[in-house]
Amino acid sequence: MSLVLCSTGALIGRPNGRNFYLLKDVVPNLECDGLEFMFYETWHDRIEEIKSVVKSLPLPVLVFHLEKQIGELLSYERLDDSLKIMRLNCSLAKDLGAKKLVLHLWNGIISDSNIDYNIKAFGKLNDIALEYGLLLTVENVVCNNKSPFEHLCALIERYPNISFTFDTKMAEFHKELDLLYDEKYRHVVHNIEHFHVNDCTCAYKDWSNLRVLPVGDGIVDFDKFFSFLKDIGYNGTLTTEATCFDKTGFIDVEKMNSCLDKIRSYLN
pLDDT of residue 240: 98
**Class of domain 3-267 (CATH, top level):** alpha beta
| Amino acid symbol at 232 | I
Q: What is the model's pLDDT at position 209?
A: 87
Percent of the chain having pLDDT more than 70? 100
pLDDT tens track for 109-119: 999 999 999 99
pLDDT band at 148 (very low <50, low <70, confident <90, very high): very high
The domain segmentation of the chain, as residue ranges, is: 3-267
Mean pLDDT of the chain: 97
**What is the average pLDDT across 91-101?**
98
Residue 74 has pLDDT above 90, yes or no: yes
